[in-house]
Structure formats: C-alpha cells, structure tokens
Amino acid sequence: MVVEETISCLNELIETSRNGQLGYAEAARLVNDTRIQTVLEGYSKERAGFVRALQAEVEKLGGTPADSGTLGASLHRGWMDLKSALTAGNAGAILAACESGEDSAWTHYKHVTDSDISGASRTLVDKQWEKIKEAIFHLKHLQGESADKKPD
C-alpha cells in the first residue's frame, strides 16, 4: 500500500475513533447508573488515546491528520439523546446505542485490516481493533446485567 493510501485509511480511523470518543462521553452523560458512567467515560478516554496515536502515526508518515468526527456520528449522538429522554437514562438502551456505535467502528477497522496496510501502522490498527472487540463483548455483558436488574 502506498503511503498516501495508508494515511487515508488512518484518517478514516481517526474520524471513527473521535466518533467513539464523543459518543461514549455523551452516553456517560446520559446514563443514570454511576458504575456504567465510569465504564463509558473510560472508553471515551481510550478512544481519545486511539485518536492521538493514529494522528501521531499519520504525522510520522508525513500526512496531515484528521481532527474531527463525522456528521453521521453526530446524528447518532442526537438519536442517543432522544433515546435517553424516552427511556429516562435507562442503561440498557444507552448501552445498546453504544454497542451499535462500536459495531460501526468494528466494520471500519475490519476494512482497514483487510487492506494491505503494514508495518507500525498495521500493528497500531490491530491493537486498537482488539480493544474494540473487547469493548463490544463488555457492552453486551453490561446490557445483560442491566436487563437482569430489577427496577428500584
């Protein structure tokens, strides 16, 4: 893969990770369960770390890193606001919205890992993709716990 294509792929992932960072921050703000707020805030910080690492890799390759998320993610966060209002901050509904966002991130990362990206860029993308897979599993687990919880 030529350097320009690698930079383009990494910039896509910067946008994806920024979307995740902002989405998790919004979800943490909306959910009523403090334990889940802490988890979501942690994922937001992790995604911010993804952004910084990807931006550094783009700069190392001589490119200009992306610095924002996408319009689609902004709309998704708006949907999360509406869903929260309708469900009064119900953790299960908000976790489902987060999982949907991570499923989208998984798809973007898979697209890049299916390309012929290599070297340090490949290693970075693979590590972040593994963290996204772990988050999806954890979100599903938290949704199950939330569904099993009796209302107060």
Give dist(CA 86, CA 73) in Å, integer: 20
What pLDDT is stored for residue 87 in this prediction?
58
Mean pLDDT across the chain: 86
Q: Which two tokens stand for residue 40?
A: 């979501």
* Average pLDDT value for residue range 42-55: 97
* Structure tokens given for 30: 């909306």
Joined tokens for residue 48: 């911010």
Q: What is the pLDDT of residue 85?
A: 47
For position 83, what pLDDT does the model report?
A: 54
Domains of the chain by start residue, with CATH: 3-148 (1.20.1260.10)
Q: Write 129-135 long-range contacts (CB < 8 A, 24+).
A: 131/46, 131/50, 132/102, 132/105, 132/106, 133/106, 135/43, 135/46, 135/102
Going from the C-alpha of 13 to that of each of 32, 80, 103, 107, 123, the distances in angstroms are 30, 22, 14, 11, 14
* DSSP letter assigned to residue 32: S
Q: Residue 68 belongs to what H/E stretch?
A: none
Quote the pTM value.
0.85
